[in-house]
Amino acid sequence: MSLRPLIMKFGGSSLADAACMKAAAKLVRNALPDAPLVVLSAMGKTTDGLFRAARMAAQGQLEEALEAHTALMERHRQAAAKLLPLERTASVLQEIAQHGGELATILTGLSMVRELSPRSMDAVASQGERLSTLVFARFLAAEGIEVHLADARRVLRTDAKSGVATPQPKAIAALAAEHIAPHLGAGRVVVTQGYIGSTADGLVTTLGRGGSDYSAALLGAALGAREVQIWTDVEGVLTCDPRMVPGAKPIPELSFAEAAELAAFGAKVLHPATIQPAIEADIPVTVRSTMKPNGRHSVIRGDVKSGRAITALASRAPVAVVTVSSSRMLDQPGFLARLFDIFGRNGISVDIVATAEISVSLTVDNDAETDNALAEIRAFASATVVRDRAIVALVGEQLRSTPGIAARTFTALGDLNIEMISMGANEINLSLVLKKDDVPEALRRLHAELLPGDDA
């Protein structure tokens, strides 16, 4: 298509209340010449509240679930009342009530069957984005902006794996051309939901927590967007988690590879899968702050060559470390394949791996059910598992080719015990495993040594 729209994704923190929605709407108005497609998350904390209500209902606590439901509906009613003129409020409140009735019916059904399937959870969770887009689109219209509210369930085609559905890009491209593209144009806005989609049979699905970023990138790729903007509460991708390193700064530019590594290893700004559709379509992704729209931001592009040894630090916790030892590893082809087959059959995802002559250590999710896998492994090797560990990742394009990085890293960490080391296969990630409680101190020391006075 000749038109290259601007994708503007707003997260829950940017939609937390009426004031936040007004700020987001101002940004959308300023972008009207760029034919914006606005992708919204649920209002902040709404999805968590929906999950709690569903669990309470399935446990037979219907009264408590309906109280939570009422509070969620009231939050959206209050936002609408503050945003809309009186003459428009009644009709929007009626639309909110229709959503509320649908949700109450689902919760009542859950309380009767006393079971919460992934399919039912998707049906409940989808209400958050449907409500936020309803209120936001009606507010834009009240402000005199031409707006079309597109139902993402008609466009984001996925498989039927509830909770973590896999998108189908070819189908999405065709459906976006049918249901979204005709409504795009300079001076008008299309608003749609992030996070949610549906199967070809109309079954509601979700892309997993944080999936609104993924939705934005998928739609950007489908529509040939000029840019995908991720609007959040920080000024871009930072050099480290500011809660642990107050001196962390935004990174002006970083490569897709660096951004993907940081996301995969714990950076909270981006959903890990967000990057891939943009990589394939060669669309830049920018991360911007709704609180400081004219402030600093990060640009993520495929053609960026920063030349930095270290771009940023990330951490993920908690994780568990499984160590397998056997003299049979020596000169025995297929030993690792056998291990990974066991983990795969037991539904355990393996993250980083480090090998020695007669042992291999690997990290898995801290809550992974490892008993069956370990029992299989112990038939031919010794195996131990240690939990409550953390991964600290050093990410940078020139990491491997820069002399002295390892020495500076270990000197900075000093007395902190490193239990496992792994250099990423793509040469831009050095991962360290240490005790979870040591992570804040480790990040502060590493940032001071490797990113000192970083003006990023």
Domains 6-233 and 312-450 share a fold: no
Check residue 355 and give its pLDDT. Answer: 86
Domain boundaries, the chain: 6-233, 312-450
Statement: residue 27 has pLDDT above 90: yes
CATH homologous superfamily of domain 6-233?
Acetylglutamate kinase-like (3.40.1160.10)
Count Cβ atoms within 10 A of the Cβ of residue 122 and give its class: 0-12 exposed, 13-18 middle, 19 or more buried.
buried
Statement: residue 280 has pLDDT above 90: no
Residues above pLDDT 70, as percent of the chain: 97
Tell me the pLDDT of the chain averaged across its residues: 93
Q: At 28, phi and psi to the nearest 5?
A: -65, -45
CB contact at 8 A, 175 and 157: yes
Mean pLDDT of 140-150: 98
Mean pLDDT of 273-279: 84
Is cis: bond before 118, omega within 30 of 0? no
Structure tokens at 1: 């298509």
The model's pLDDT over 300-331, given as tens digits with 9 standing for 90+, comes to 988 777 778 999 999 999 999 999 998 877 66
Check residue 426 and give its pLDDT. Answer: 67
The model's pLDDT over 340-358, given as tens digits with 9 standing for 90+, comes to 999 999 999 998 898 888 8
Statement: residue 456 has pLDDT above 60: no
The strand pair at 196-198 and 253-255 is best described as: unpaired
Tokens 């990330």 identify what position?
Answer: 314
Check residue 455 and give its pLDDT. Answer: 42
Q: How far apart are CA 246 and CA 249, in angstroms?
A: 9
Q: Strands, DSSP E only, in 28-121? A: 36-40
CATH architecture of residue range(s) 312-450: 2-Layer Sandwich (3.30)
Q: pLDDT band at residue 392, thresholds of 50, 70 and 90? A: very high
Check residue 331 and give its pLDDT. Answer: 67
DSSP 210-225: THHHHHHHHHHHHHT-
The model's pLDDT over 407-419, given as tens digits with 9 standing for 90+, comes to 999 999 999 999 9
